[in-house]
Amino acid sequence: MPRPVTYTPRPSTGSSPWAPPQQGTFPAPRGNPAATLSLVLIALGLAGGIATFWWLDAAYPRIAELARVAVAVVVIAAMVLAVVAVVAAQRRSTHLAPAVIALVVSVLLVMALIAWFVLQLLDAGAVTAILDSVGL
């Protein structure tokens, strides 16, 4: 009885497009770019907030309102990137310290922004007007 026909693949030399990818061709990334970018955005947010407070509020109040919103967006983006940086640092073998520093500082800045906006609402009398309209 004849033997059944079976397929035996030809040994791959690595030059075929169907060859499995070679391991170790790309070096592992150094550092954590998300943490670095988060720290840069934190610095930009702090500089923008300080410039808005000391310079724009007195000179250009309308532009200061837009600058405050831009600072808030930058700080929130820094916090999102800091969370991504912590996750990336846990999944890869990169340093965790810059990611944690960026996360702690960005969370503190977001909390400060929320407190500042609430104080602005209280100062503007918006909360008092809402409570008066409800009857409280």
Identify which of 4-13, 17-26, 108-117 has the greatest average pLDDT: 108-117
Q: What is the pLDDT of residue 9?
A: 66
Report the helix count and the strand count for the chain, using DSSP H and E: 5, 0
Q: Rounded to the nearest 5°, which phi and psi values hold at 104? A: -65, -45
Q: Lowest mean pLDDT of 2-6, 53-57, 78-82, name the range.
A: 2-6
Q: Is the pTM of this model over 0.75?
A: no
